[in-house]
Amino acid sequence: MHKVVISGTGLFTPPNAVSNAELVEAFNAYVREFNAANQAAIAAGAVAELAESSAEFIEKASGIKQRFLMDKSGVLDPARMTPHLPERGNDELSLQAEMAVNAAREALAAAGRLAADIDMVIVACSNMQRPYPAMAVEVQQALGINGYAFDMNVACSSATFGIQTAVNAIASGQARAVLMVNPEICSAHLNFRDRDSHFIFGDACTAVVLERADAATSAQRFEVLGCKLATLFSNNIRNNFGFLNRCDEAGIGQPDKLFIQQGRKVFKEVCPMVGEHIVSHLDSLQIGAADVRRFWLHQANLAMNQLIARRVLGRDADNVEAPVILDRYANTSSAGSIIAFHLHSHDLQAGDVGVISSFGAGYSVGSVVLKKQ
């Protein structure tokens, strides 16, 4: 069995930064228009009056200050509040594949690898823009990679599950090197008219190159000491959009065809689950929490990350130990923990240990323990 390293990462950041204030301005305009149009029904108790939001509320509830979007004009239009992303022809590169290619090229350059060095491509993210042909096969073709490619979806944990899949292929000799990408267009499945969740997500794409340790030559290499995955079924984070929707017209356009969650239940149930998961994973590798230099956690909610880090360390973690990027990027689903790793790993020294951890819908939890080479 071959040892495996992460030898390169890449990040694609969309061009449109949107502040909490901008998002709130559009949301509150929609609320005022809705309440005015339904004034009589609201007075009669037939329709619930909508409440306005505030930038301060968003930051206090989540730690998010802004996000990057593939399109902001459609989102900030109170009459639309959905990104405007025109369909492309079948012979054009798909939007999601374009994001993936951008991040992948940076990761390949960081790893010092060419397309010819990669044997396997995984696109792992929360939502694919189509069922088939696989996004991964399109990315493979766009980059000129031989071998094989496939898509996988484990919601916010897609990246860690993708890393485990890549590690297995490399360790067994099935592939020399694997490109794993996470193109997340979260704005497309977010209900921007829901006060409790309209601010949560942003768009981004990350990429990771994994390869045999004895063949890696990049300056930044992290050996994968172990991966640990777990799932537990829950309806508390859900999206019911799918190909069966057209079979029952009553459900078309309903809120559950976008992202929905029971936030308080998620917080209460997921935090201890993730904390115990990381602790047991470190224990199985005979690594003490105090010996971990960095935790690259899924970037969903600041309070969640603080609670998870406290459970693992037995104390509060500072921003060096558990870096935060969701203040700028918001929740980018599977890309979040990889963005944190991409931006906050270059200062580690040889022998330093770190943990990438993801958690989200499913419930799904994944952790990857790394050692800097």
The SS3 call for residue 153 is: coil
The catalytic residue among 156, 186, 227, 271 is: 156
DSSP strand E in 112-220: where?
120-124, 148-152, 177-185, 203-212
Residues belonging to the chain: 373
Round the CA-based radius of gyration of the chain to a whole number and report it: 21
- Phi-psi category of 333—alpha, beta or left, where left has phi over 0 and alpha has psi -120 to 50? left
Residue 227 annotated in active site: no
Running DSSP on this structure, what letter comes out for residue 235?
S
Burial 233-265 (b: 16+ CB within 10 A, else e): ebebbebeeeeeeeeeeeeeeeeebbbbbeeee
- Look at residues 295, 305, 260, 94 and name the one whose alpha carbon lies nearest to residue 181: 94
φ, ψ of residue 75 to 5 degrees: the values are: -65, -40
Place of tokens 């930044």: 220
Q: Which residues are catalytic, by number?
A: 156
